[in-house]
Structures are given as C-alpha cells and as structure tokens.
Amino acid sequence: MRVDIQGKTRVLGIIGWPVAHSLSPLMQNAACIELGLDYVYVPFPVAPGDLPKAVEGLRALGVAGFNVTIPHKEAIIGLLDELSEEARLIGAVNTVKRDGDRLIGHNTDITGLIKSLQDDLGFDVKGSRVVLLGAGGAARAALVGLCQSGAASVTVANRTPAKGECLVAGFRSVFTGVNLALCTLDILKGDRCLKDVDLLINTTAVGLNGTNFTDLDLAPMAPAARVYDMVYNPALTPLLVEARKHSLRSANGAGMLAAQGEAAFTIWTGCKPPNGLMKSRLLAALDGQDMLDNGVYSK
C-alpha cells in the first residue's frame, strides 16, 4: 500500500463503468514505485451520463493522464482537444495525456497487440494472412494495427455480417495495399480456407463466462499457424484449448493488456516501465481469480 503521497505527487487514473475490476492500478502503480516516479494511479468510476462532467473535472484537477475503458472509449473523443493518428483511425481512445491545458487522446491497443504477437507468439505480421473474429472496437484496433504492420490480408468474420461489412468497407480506401475480405464464423467449423491462414485472432467476447463458438474445429490450420485470443480470463479459453489440441502455438490477451499499459505509461511519464514487470503483476493477479465478476472485461 502506498503511504508516500505528497503535495507534489501527480495523479494518473482510469475512467470506466464499472472500473472496480480493473487491473491497471496494480500494473501502473507497480511501475511507478519500481522506477521511483512520484505518480499515483487511481480508479475513477464514471457512469455513462457523467462522462462530460468527469472529463472537465479531471482537467480542472490537473490530472496528468488517464486510461479510458468501456463504455467511454468512443464517447470521449468529442471531449478531447486532439487525437493521435491511431486514435483517429480506430475511432476510440484508451489513453489520455494532459499537455498544458490540452487533453490528447491516444490508443495503445495497437501497440499492445502487435507487441504481444511478437513476444508471446514470435509472430511477424509482415506479409501474413490473418483472420479476425469480431467487428467491434477491439477488432478495429486489431485491423488497423495489422494493416499498419504490413499484413498481406485481413479477413473479418463477425456474428452480425453487416457490422463486419461496415468495418471492412471503412478501411478499404485507407489500406489499399492490404487485401481486406469477409467470411462467416462458419470458417471455425473446420473450413478448408483455414489452411491458408497464418494467424487467427479472436477479438470477440466469446470465451468469457464459459461461452464458446459452436462446432469449433481448427484441424485444417497449418502446423506453423498461430492462434491469439484477446480474452485472457479464463487464461485457457475454449479457442486456445482447440489450438492446443492441434499443437498450434497460441496465446491469450494478457500480454496485450500489459503491453497497452506499458505504452500508456511511457506516453504519460516519458519512461519505459521495467521489462516484464506489468505482465508479471497482471499474471499473478489473474492467477488468483478464475473470472472477473460477471465476466466483465475491464482494463
């Protein structure tokens, strides 16, 4: 427990609803303490209707920066003074930095995903063929990150096809060098197209609360193909169990969560957090709980 907060201590935090499950305070405070930086990171529960007041309050209080999680990632955009290129492309903000009187929105989910793919799967996105399950906010971040990192093709499979079409249509003119395509979730039922996929990423909430895709069969995937599940609680989701069954290298989203936190920390403080510290704290905390209450994802 921190007992060294003084008059000059700078405040960082996270806004979301709910926010009590957030593991970010644990990760961020560990890095501040380890580096001897005089910051403290606190959770701020902000109900959806209170977002404008909360952002004005954070401005007035001189908070140095904060993370943004569900349900505010998109709604906060109109309340900020500037957006990074990534945040603008994704249309969502997960990190805000105060710069003088200005609040600048960033999105570190891209950095988080690409770093985790490298660190946890040894996967180089350049030239790869990827299938993305889902078309929500996490899928947008993944699609932008994969395209920026030189993927050859990204195929989106979403439960509601119209949302998948909308996602792909919105980026075709932005990433002209990437083959952006659509398929259905039936691809997971042992479809032969899976043999040409280098990486399968789940960006949906399936896997939380014991949920699963129906008739999951990854047998056609090539032995060198990888499987990544953004869900990290439980650590071994049904998709990852299926990947293991076929000896496919796989990882859950804990590495992404830690890496997006590392990137946010650097944006705020200008310092790199100690190597592996955030991830080890996160994994230790996740080890102690089987499932976030109600399966709610919270940064």
Per CB under 6 A, residues contacting ligand NAP are 109, 112, 134-139, 158-160, 163, 203-206, 208, 211, 230-232, 253, 256-257, 260, 297
Give whichever of 211 and 289 is closer to ligand NAP, judged by the CB atom.
211
Neighbouring residues of 224: CB distance < 8 A, sequence distance ≥ 6 = 198
Whole-number Cα distances in Å, 266 to 34, 56, 250, 262, 282: 14, 24, 28, 6, 18
Smallest distance, ligand NAP to C-beta of residue 278, A: 12
Q: State how far the Cα of 109 lies from the Cα of 299, in Å rounded to an integer.
A: 11
Closest contact distance (angstroms) between CB of 138 and ligand NAP is 3
Which residue lies nearest ligand NAP, judged by its C-beta?
136
CB of 59 to ligand NAP, least distance (A): 25
Q: Which residue in the block uniquely carries the two structure tokens 């399950």?
A: 133
- What distance in Å separates the CA atoms of residue 12 and residue 94, rounded to the nearest whole number? 13
CB of 156 to ligand NAP, least distance (A): 9
d(CA 141, CA 143): 6
Q: Is 73 a catalytic residue?
A: yes
DSSP tally for the chain: helices H, then strands E: 9, 13
Between vectors from CA 198 to CA 153 and to CA 166, what angle results, nearest 5°?
Answer: 35
- Burial string for 120-141 (b: 16+ CB within 10 Å, else e) reads bbebebeebbbbbbbbebbbbb
- The answer to whether 152 and 221 have CB atoms below 8 angstroms apart is no
User: Please, which residue, 128 or 158, has the CB nearer to ligand NAP?
Assistant: 158
- Residue placing its CB nearer to ligand NAP in the complex, 29 or 108: 108
Q: Which of 8, 53, 73, 126 is catalytic?
A: 73
Which of 171, 297 has the CB closer to ligand NAP? Answer: 297
Question: Which of 14, 138 has the CB closer to ligand NAP?
Answer: 138
To ligand NAP, the closest distance from the beta carbon of 204 in angstroms equals 3
Query: Which residues are annotated as catalytic?
Result: 73
